[in-house]
Homo-oligomer: A and B are copies of this chain.
Amino acid sequence: MDTKFSSAIHMLILISEAETPMSSEKIAESVGTNPSYIRKIAGLLKKAGIIESSQGRSGFALNLSADELTLYQIFCAVEGTSDIHLFDIHRNPNDQCVVGRHIQPTLTELFGELEAKALSELKQKTLKTCMDIMRDRINKEETK
């Protein structure tokens, strides 16, 4: 199970909302994991130019505003690929068989269409989209 993407979104919301610097330890506490894991994800986000930080100095800073940062960028940063890979394809089909020889490219093409659509959805949604949904939920909770 790969939860880097959801952890990264959680982390970025914290960074974006917090007024005082959030250390990897405080972030880990909210995400429910350990500081090392947070720093691992931070490294990926930093490499992609999404956040800024420096050794010894507490906290992380967003390089983009929340409505400029797409979920697509976050996804690519933490997964290290621009492929969503919706479904895995079995690895050893038999080349001696017509179906076996063509199944991989056929499914790659077919699944690729779906994946492209999912990617374009991710490009249209931003960190702000996410924060807005959350804010609505928080408001609903409060008015109960």
Contact = CB atoms under 8 A, between A and B. Distances in A.
Interface of A: 1-3, 5-7, 9-10, 13-14, 17, 29-33, 84, 86-94, 97-100, 102-103, 105-107, 109-110, 113-114, 117-118, 121-122, 125, 129-130, 133-134, 137-138, 141
Contact of A94 (B5, B7, B31, B141): B31
Given A87-B5, A94-B32, A122 B133 contact: no
**Main SS of the interface on chain A?**
helix
Count of this chain's copies in the oligomeric assembly: 2
A109 B132 CA distance: 12
26 contacts: A1-B88, A3-B88, A5-B88, A6-B88, A6-B89, A10-B90, A10-B93, A10-B99, A29-B97, A31-B93, A31-B94, A32-B93, A33-B90, A33-B92, A86-B86, A102-B134, A102-B138, A102-B141, A105-B137, A110-B130, A110-B133, A113-B121, A114-B121, A117-B117, A117-B121, A118-B118
B90 A7 contact: yes
